[in-house]
Structure 1
Amino acid sequence: MRNRRRALLVLTATVVLAACSLPRGAALQSEILREENADIPSFEVIPVTRDIVPVLADWPVTGWSGSYRWLAAGRGPGSPIIRRADMVNLVIWDSQDNSLLTTPGQKNIVLEPMEVSASGTIFVPYVGEVVVSGATPQEARARVQDALVDIVPSAQVQLSIEQGAENSVDLVSGVASPGSYPLPSRDYTILSALAAGGGIIGSLENPLVRLIRGSDAYEIRADRLFADASHNVLLQGGDKIVVQEDDRHFTALGAAGTEDLIPFPAEELSALEAVSLMGGLSDQRADPEGVLVLREFPPEVVGKSPGPTHPQVIFTFNLTTADGLFAARNFQINPGDTVLATESPVTKAQTIFDLFGSIFGLTRQATIVAE
């Protein structure tokens, strides 16, 4: 009898200790939100419903600007524009015996190639500076010939150009063959340039195309660029194209299929899509009433309407109701958010029950041994 009591005491103590230190993969929703009812909580809790989603959509966006800015596509004439730093070749024909440009017996004069100046001009003998920048070769030829009328009325002008740095674009990175590429015409588009560079390299995950024009930068995801012809913008001399991975991501934690930094597969990402990217909720562990999105706001937007009243906000979702599912479908995840699938309270209870069942089995064995 004494041995039986001793065995029961040892096993009971084991049950208590084990129940107090059960291993879990994630916190319970009640544990995380416990401070919500404190006199001065350190975070704000927002239960997300369909009614409140439009209100939250007007809150400041965190982690990025909220959208990628891109140019509108346009069309241009099918000939190159003369730009600064282009080289202009002039041949002037004149059959007059007393021509100022040619010698007796000479029918034409070939001028040395001239670089278009910073002011957009070239120097023509006996005429001076002629503005050619911004004109097509045909327009520039007519300008030079008109300028020569008073000096050499019978002159005929031939003009050709060699494109300089201002009439080329740079493929900086993210393509098979980076480098500087000339613009053959004003109809040259960004897709043509990417194709000339060998296309976007396949190792880039979720590639982002950035177009740098002067002091401005424009961005678009490659999948959107390829899908819609209206995004295939015309290039200008001096444009720079950088292709890199879209580095936006969110953190997945808790009772889900994976815990990791997960990149954005599209420009916009809903909470429901984020749960799917996490591998869904664990059938055995997760609490579908306790999906949380943790977000931090910069101090300058806190307390302003519309916006949060605290820099740290927890958005809660109940995925067991239609209202919660539709809310999660329309709630946008921001880069830097943490999506947490909390542990179900039932999991802990079931684990305790299983543990007690095992202990009772051991108790019976111990009793038999003690007897």
Structure 2
Amino acid sequence: MVLTVRVPAATGLALLLAVSGCSSLPNSGPSDSDIGRSAAVQVGNKDRKVGLDYALLDLSAQTLAYFDEPPKSRSLRLGFGGGRGGAPQTVLGAGDVVQVAIFESASGGLFIPNDAGSRPGNFVTLPQQTIDRSGAISVPYAGRIKVLGRTTGEVQAEIESLLANRAIEPQVLITIVNNRSSEVAVLGDVNAPAKLDISQAGERVLDMISRAGGLSTPGVETYVTLQRRGKEGTVLFSELINHPDENIYVRPGDTIYVNRERRTYLAFGASGLNGRIDFEESDLTLGEALGKAGGLLDARADPGQVFLYRMVDRATLQRMRIDVSRFRGTTVPVVFRANLRDPAAFFAVQKFRMADKDILYVANSDSTELLKFLNVVTTVTGSGSSFATDVNVVQRRVD
């Protein structure tokens, strides 16, 4: 007796689907259902929705008017004063190394002996000395002189006055050998971070960065922060170049920190390139961002459904007369939608400025989703037909 087994294609499809759900099939890890069943506690919302409210704005001429202005730049000038005027006066401070020279108009005085004719000049140079923590130096026959916070000219005049009754028409010259109290620290993304002294002529922010070897990062993404006596100001490096009044004079004890803020955006969906992409340029637009992401895939993308996700300042939306009463906080989640089926939209995307950490998403077209479904059906039905054919072959062999 011969057993004949005939399996219709539909039955083969059902068997195939049943086997496909079997845990014995190869897999890279646990499935979503496995993770859900094994969880001791599940916390979530209905339909697994995130539950965050957002506003949807179509990119148009009216919308663009509120977002086509460049972001306001931070400033050093407003925090510490403008770059006009002369350099701040250099004063003596603790830790400075100075040298005092005393001149007399004739020999036989307090410092110049009678045999001065055999000496090269009518002056005496005192040993170098460091201004101590009390802010004083010592000069023979004049005693200890307070110099902290004073200019060399002021100190010279005082020493001359103290020696006037003992020396012959004394003249005093103070030379700063090492100006340790007038140093500025330059740190961060420069080629040679260092602590640098300020010259008598005065130094500006760009001067100090140059002496520290210049930038080691792209200038369009680099910020310069100046810290001074508990105050802090930050400016984009390109602003220092383009606006001289931002290039202010530094003062003793300042700290200059140079920092690159890498600006990026994320690209997802039916674009040529997905992932995190650097701005590189100073003013990247939505059109340029789409180009850097490889443009829209012709076989997948829906040009009418290009989305940009961003946190927008609440005040901006209020100026647009948008009801933001249901949103909390100073920023509102906003999704901008661009319809690139409209030829005029290409002008709009070239004016709409990208912001750091924007998310760009290009949706699939409806036909793409249909093709995905048809591919799955074709693959499964093809496997079902193959299964039925194999059963028939076995049947013939048994016969």
- TM-score scaled by length of structure 1: 0.66
* Residue 369 (structure 2) aligns with: 348
Q: 1:95-174 counterparts in 2 under 5 A?
A: 95=105, 102=111, 105=114, 108=123, 110-111=125-126, 113=128, 126=142, 133=149, 135=151, 139-140=153-154, 143-144=157-158, 147=161, 151=165, 154-174=169-189
Contact 1:174–1:204 (CA<8 Å) still a contact in 2? no
Question: Which structure: larger Rg?
Answer: 2
* Residue 45 of structure 1: how far off its partner (Å): 1.2
* Residue 55 (structure 2) aligns with: 44
* Residue 315 (structure 1) aligns with: 336
* Residue 53 (structure 1) aligns with: 64
Q: Go from structure 1 to structure 2 and tell me whether the alpha carbon gap of 1:282 and 1:121 turns closer, same or farther (over 3 Å shift).
A: farther
* Residue 253 (structure 2) aligns with: 238
**SS, match of residue 61 in structure 2:** coil
CA distance in 2, matches of 1:214, 1:265: 34
**SS, match of residue 355 in structure 2:** coil
CA distance in 2, matches of 1:282, 1:147: 86
Is 184-193 or 141-150 further displaced after alignment?
A: 141-150
Residues 247-286 of structure 1: CA deviation (Å, up to 9, x unaligned): 3333222222333233332444322232233232222222
* Residue 48 (structure 2) aligns with: none
* Residue 161 of structure 1: how far off its partner (Å): 0.9
* Residue 368 of structure 1: how far off its partner (Å): 10
Contact 2:92–2:147 (CA<8 Å) still a contact in 1? no
Question: RMSD in angstroms over aligned alpha carbons?
Answer: 5.0
- TM-score scaled by length of structure 2: 0.62
Which letter does structure 2 place at the counterpart of 1:338? I
CA distance in 1, matches of 2:271, 2:100: 72
CA distance in 1, matches of 2:97, 2:13: 94
CA distance in 1, matches of 2:251, 2:60: 47
* Residue 87 (structure 1) aligns with: 97
Contact 1:122–1:132 (CA<8 Å) still a contact in 2? no
Gaps of 5+ in 2: 1-5, 18-50, 117-121, 393-399
For residue 302 of structure 2, the aligned residue among 260, 264, 287 is: 287
Is 225-234 or 244-253 further displaced after alignment?
A: 225-234
CA distance in 1, matches of 2:296, 2:240: 33
Q: Go from structure 1 to structure 2 and tell me whether the alpha carbon gap of 1:146 and 1:294 turns closer, same or farther (over 3 Å shift).
A: same
Is 183-192 or 224-233 further displaced after alignment?
A: 224-233
Gaps of 5+ in 1: 16-39
CA distance in 1, matches of 2:147, 2:384: 102
Contact 2:270–2:364 (CA<8 Å) still a contact in 1? yes
Q: Go from structure 1 to structure 2 and tell me whether the alpha carbon gap of 1:218 and 1:319 turns closer, same or farther (over 3 Å shift).
A: farther
**SS, match of residue 66 in structure 2:** helix
Contact 1:90–1:158 (CA<8 Å) still a contact in 2? yes
Whether 1:215 and 2:230 are equivalent positions in the alignment is yes
